[in-house]
Chain A
Amino acid sequence: MKAYPIEDTIIAYFDGRLNDSEGAELLHRVSVSPEIREIFEAHDALRQMAVRAAQNISISPELEEAVFARIAALQEEERLPVGFWTLRRIAVTAGVAAILIAGVAGSFEFQNAGANSAESGKIKNQGISIQHMAANARFETAQRTFEPAYRTAIEQVNSEIPGDNLTTTNDISLIVGDPSSAITMHPAPEESEVASIPLPSISHATFQSLRELPPADAESKFEAGISSPMSGFSFPGSVPQQGPFADVTIRAAYNLDEKNQVGLRITDGSFAGLRPAAGAGYTHETMELQQGYAGELFYRHREPVVQGLFFVTGGAGGGFYSLGTMLSAELGIEVPFGERLLGGVSLIVSRLHQNGSESAILSSSTPVIYDGSNVFNSLNGSIEYALTYRF
């Protein structure tokens, strides 16, 4: 039996820690000494077995299918019922509940965003990279699969090299059972008296790696939203007031950049407008709420506050409604519920100009009376709640 130094030298050789002259000297000794050659070949065999063991670790198709099926199921959970927003005249309490539900939905969305990113997780010889914390939880099953693979590798080494010569420094079952301890990114540290074999490992994402992920904002070129008024006011006062959630506005926008967007919003609701009613010897032009539609092109700016904790929004738009033309301006705040879902409250002020003119009414041959003055131009304001999804 030779002393340890030659074995240490062989280990150092396989670790690549010998320089050219030391390597040449070792190979010379291997070529001339059968005993040293035996040790050298034993280490070479161990190396190759360990590498093969690492290469043979893979996730079975069934497991992979199960993981992605779970991801798909979570995505389904995220989606709100289709009819949720088609109920136009929901009560105020339902609106409040909607905001809270949106928050919960946002949490699922946030969670699933991580699960989705698991698709890009790469299983390689030297490590499995799963780039989102939520996905790690899903891969606990995968960890349990890896455990027998490691045990198999150890058993292979022990069976091919008899003797109590292989030890493990960690209890794998403990490591697998405790996700927080199963974090390893590097090969075992080099120690002069031991050989180190890099093994496959599961790497958990850190906050740093999450930050390195491309932000959703950068990728979200489009967004869609829905909003409804909570309350409003009008000028002149003769314009009838709308009830809460009387209108539903659907908005689609294209993000010019992270802060600016242009888009189209379509409103289905009621608009105040003059409607003639025949009286005894006169015409009464009454201001009534009339069912109609509005279409507006708008520009919107979204300014992040407190590092994106919430946004201050402002914008302007213009377009047509069923009775005339309109110009709008808005100011509000938006709170991100997740990576892609935002909830917000905005004050929207719209100037509505109804087609027609007072002079046309006043030129009537019969007496005419109408409520208020300058009824063709009204100013409406409303507080609106909105939900926005970016994609």
Chain B
Amino acid sequence: MAASNTRLRIGFNAVRPQQKEKERDEMMKRGINKLGLGCKNYVLAALSLALGFAASGCSSIADNPSTPAPEPDVRNYYIHLATTNCEYNYTVTSLNAPYHPASGGLTMSMQGNTDTFKTMPVYACLWSYSNNYGTPQLWYYALCDTQAVALGLEPSPDNYTDSWVDLKAPLQKNATWSFISQGEHITANVTMYGGTAQVEGKTYDSVVMVQYTGVKGTTGTEWFARGTGLIFSHIERPNFGMVENHLLSFEQK
């Protein structure tokens, strides 16, 4: 039978060894790619994370770019005590305050340096109330680059009625200082530095806001504008009532 010599080849084609190796290499590559993250992607992912962390680290530098630098000289924020005949005009509102009118105006006229107090120059300022309230009186201030202290009246030579530290260097946000006024321990805190304020229709930039708190119940807020001085004050004290001042204007006479 002819079929006895028939040879049929049934099966798969044999794969050449070189082709087999090549295909195995490709299979390995596929195996790596199957992971979804090849080495290159791992590197890129790591770089991405590093970029983020680096940027987050830099953010502390970029943070608050407009915050002004701390002020070492408080005189830049205080009334111009050394400029003789410079006048500040304020509105006055008071409640149960023995030395202040219930309402009216106050003119503060600078008298210049008159004395020293604990090595600090002392300046006199003549207070005159409108509506013929009382008689003009000299109020005293000790002022240097590091602090500004309201000394009050001087009933006898070198004897002042108060020692209220309005400002103390360096001026910056959250700066604090303490002092004794009228026998009460007062703590001052700079709650805003570089702010903007509107007082009596006028806008002031570079404003420092200081809040005062006393152990006996004194509370108060004062705003100081750079180049101008005190623009707003609201002080409440247990035995001295409440006094509030708004700056209307200041000018050189």
B is a partner of A = yes
CA distance A196 to B12 in the complex (A): 11
CA distance A42 to B3 in the complex (A): 7
Contact count A vs B, C-beta below 8 Å: 251
Contacting residues, chain A, for B200 (C-beta < 8 A): 367
Is A230 at the interface (CB under 8 A from chain B)?
yes
Count of A interface residues, CB-CB < 8 Å: 101
Q: Are B7 and A194 in contact (CB under 8 A)?
A: yes
Is A222 at the interface (CB under 8 A from chain B)?
no
Interface residues of chain A: helix, strand, loop or mixed (majority): mixed
Is A161 at the interface (CB under 8 A from chain B)?
yes
Is A322 at the interface (CB under 8 A from chain B)?
no
Q: Are A188 and B223 in contact (CB under 8 A)?
A: no
CA distance A242 to B1 in the complex (A): 93
Contacting residues, chain A, for B199 (C-beta < 8 A): 367
Q: Are A195 and B36 in contact (CB under 8 A)?
A: no
Q: Are A282 and B55 in contact (CB under 8 A)?
A: no
Given contacts A107-B37, A237-B63, A369-B207, contact A1 B1 (CB under 8 A): yes
Contacting residues, chain B, for A310 (C-beta < 8 A): 44
CA distance A99 to B42 in the complex (A): 11
Q: Are B14 and A7 in contact (CB under 8 A)?
A: no
CA distance A374 to B6 in the complex (A): 98
CA distance A157 to B27 in the complex (A): 36
Q: Are B30 and A337 in contact (CB under 8 A)?
A: no
A178 to B: closest C-beta gap in Å: 9
Is A211 at the interface (CB under 8 A from chain B)?
no
Q: Are A309 and B44 in contact (CB under 8 A)?
A: yes
B37 and chain A: residue at smallest CB distance: A103
Q: Are B194 and A371 in contact (CB under 8 A)?
A: yes
Q: Are B246 and A367 in contact (CB under 8 A)?
A: yes
Q: Are A279 and B221 in contact (CB under 8 A)?
A: yes
Given contacts A111-B34, A134-B34, A241-B63, contact A172 B11 (CB under 8 A): yes
Contacting residues, chain B, for A381 (C-beta < 8 A): 62
Contacting residues, chain A, for B56 (C-beta < 8 A): 230-231, 244, 383
Interface mask (A11-31 → B, CB under 8 Å = 1, otherwise 0): 000000000000000000000
One of B64-72, B81-89, B117-125, B148-156 contacting the partner: B64-72
Closest 4 interchain pairs by CB? A107-B36, A237-B64, A231-B56, A39-B2
Ordered by A's residue number, 8 sampled pairs between the chains whose C-beta atoms are within 8 Å are: A2-B2, A4-B5, A134-B34, A181-B20, A233-B59, A237-B64, A279-B221, A280-B220
* Besides A110-B35, A161-B6, A371-B195, 9 other A-B contacts (C-beta < 8 A): A46-B8, A110-B34, A167-B7, A197-B8, A238-B67, A244-B56, A345-B51, A369-B196, A370-B195
